[in-house]
Chains A and B, each alone.
Chain A
Amino acid sequence: MSGNQRLLRRETGPLLRIAETMAARPLVSIFSLTGEKSGETTLPEVMSAPIRTDIVQFVHINMNKNHRQAYAVNIHAGKQVSAESWGTGRAVARIPRVGGGGTSRSGQGAFGNMCRGGRMFAPTKTWRKWHRKINVTQKRYAVASALAASAVPALVMARGHKIDEVPEIPLVLDNSLESAKKTSAAKDILAAIGAIDDVNKAAESKKIRAGKGKARNRRYTLRRGPLVIYKTNDGVEQAFRNLPGVELCCVDRLNLLQLAPGGHMGRFCIWSQAALDALNEIYGKNGKAIPEDIMANADLARLINSDEIQSVLNPAKRANKKFLRKKNPLTSIKALAKLDPYAAAARESEQRAEAARKDQRAAILKKRRETAKSKKQYRAQGLAFYEKVSKQGDVCANGFTIA
């Protein structure tokens, strides 16, 4: 609901709260004590305060310390003894020992934190800082945030309240709530408006506390139920206070420890009409300041894609060009082609010529073999001539021809 309101506010213009009309804010139904809708009112401005879990947590942690009771050990504990160290030379540790005799206590160590019956280390003091001071603005911020969260059904459910049957969040009842007198009547009212589930949850959750607390006057633990907020107590307190889990609060004195128990926002609140309307007086121009959002419009996706921003953006940067693995242009023609297409073309044609020459080699060899063969035929002739010539005795008539 608070998100919606922010959107609406944006559309009415930059001067948000002052220029706003009543009609611009969402309406909250008012229910009669029998559960029917009996009227309408506008949602108070506080309900659209920013929801800041960090501030609520901080304030809650510190506020929670403020109802502590001091504890400390007795200032004299462990010191009511006149013990003195025996010193060295007696084969015992040098711790102060109880003097005297006749009792087992004599000669025992005393005073030290390690000794039985001695004083503890760093005895706890009552003047420990138990309470915490919190800035008023922060406290108010936290309460405003918690109120805003109580108006968001998702947060209330997330906190664990059973609000499935509740007709509307925030749940506002008419002013006759404030004059309820009997607890039985209170129970009926809650049943009529669907809040009884939360009360039942609290009632069923009553268990004996785990831990030492059970012996220290904190025997039972209980879940928290609805918080009934009124303007004037005409009997509400007494009517509702005995119901398990139900708490009551006057609008003028809203308590963060009730609005955000455990530091977790989203308490299920039941308002009386007077109380809800009183919020407009308490929080506003004349009253407590309502904290402002850091971002009026927190929809990042919409902001980024809006015309106003897109029109002034730089163009998107391209990813840097990756340089693929370098190939050696001396061995790879493709790599060479990238650098020097002329040389690549030259090398390629040379390679083709070489390949062509290789094919032709067969033809060349064949030719060579033929010429060799044809030369060989003359060899026989030559040998025959030689034979003849060697047989011949004298030189022939003209020196050449053989008879």
Chain B
Amino acid sequence: MALKVPESVLKKQATQAKIAEQAKQASYEARQKKRQDKKDAIAAAEKYSAEYKATEDAAIANRRQAKAQGGFYVPSMPKLALIIRIRGTIGVSPKAKKIMQLFRLRQIHNATFVKLNESTIRMLRLIEPYVTYGYPSRSTVEKLIYKRGFGKLNKQRIPIADNSVIEEGVGSVGIKCCADLIHEIYTVGPNFKEANNFLWPFKLTSPRGGFSNKTKLVHFLEGGEAGNRGEEINKLVKRMI
């Protein structure tokens, strides 16, 4: 007499088989997606490197032309700034406190990118004694995002260990890989706001070799560290990253 298999066992086998099938399909699709993403990432990176080279070459060409004609080449005002907070939280005036909150610089040695326009420049003026800022180079932007890059996913600070983090956070806007993100930040593209807001404020260390001998508190031009220091910010970031 053959034993009948209990119906519950049969049902369970059927559902498990279905789940296995779905899982197989899902993993196949995931692998395809991964392959495609890699191709896209490489294509994008190539495009961007060509773009960067083109802009550099254009700048060089302009300078040479100006020199040749005896005139001047005035490059456009910088669009991107990197702000680093260099003073602590105690005893900050309320207006400055609020502005630093708006820039997401709530802690000492926090750094964020900011788009430079009329309003942000005025805001920076008000917080000059508490921060230092400047115009980061592309390699600085890259280094910051690679080493200290964390994304805001679901209000959580998730390390950018994989492009999936970026895609989940900011993919809806067309930024799918790290190269896209760096490009958007550096060239201050149309979705700069989303890209920058996705990036959690960078938490840098104190600079190796220390701040200036004189005193941190005065303006950079006076031998201190505060305020706008233009291209010099790259050197500082190198010591703080």
Contact = CB atoms under 8 A, between A and B. Distances in A.
Contacts of A343: 45, 179
A341 B42 contact: yes
A335 B161 CA distance: 7
Interface string A342-371: 110100000000000000000000000000
Interface stretch (A14-22, A290-298, A326-334, A380-388): A326-334
Interface in B29-44: 38, 41-42
A339 B44 CA distance: 12
A323 B38 contact: no
A253 interface: no
A307 B41 CA distance: 46
B73 interface: no
B45 A338 contact: no
B147 A324 contact: no
Nearest to A310: B15
Contacts of B49: 342
A141 B177 CA distance: 69
Contacts of B41: 340-342
A302 B11 CA distance: 12
Contacts, number: 53
Contact of A339 (B11, B143, B177): B177
A294 to B, nearest CB: 25
A316 B12 CA distance: 15
A324 B146 contact: no
Contact of A323 (B12, B15, B46, B159): B159
A342 B44 CA distance: 9
A172 B42 CA distance: 87
Contact of B146 (A325, A328, A342): A328
A259 to B, nearest CB: 38
B158 interface: yes
Given A328-B146, A329-B146, A330-B143, A342 B42 contact: yes
Interface of B: 8, 11-12, 15, 38, 41-42, 45-46, 49, 143, 146-147, 158-163, 165, 177-179
8 contacts: A305-B12, A325-B161, A338-B163, A339-B162, A340-B179, A341-B38, A342-B45, A343-B179
Given A302-B8, A326-B160, A341-B38, 16 more contacts: A305-B11, A305-B12, A310-B15, A323-B159, A324-B161, A328-B146, A329-B146, A330-B147, A338-B163, A339-B160, A339-B163, A341-B42, A341-B45, A342-B42, A342-B45, A343-B45
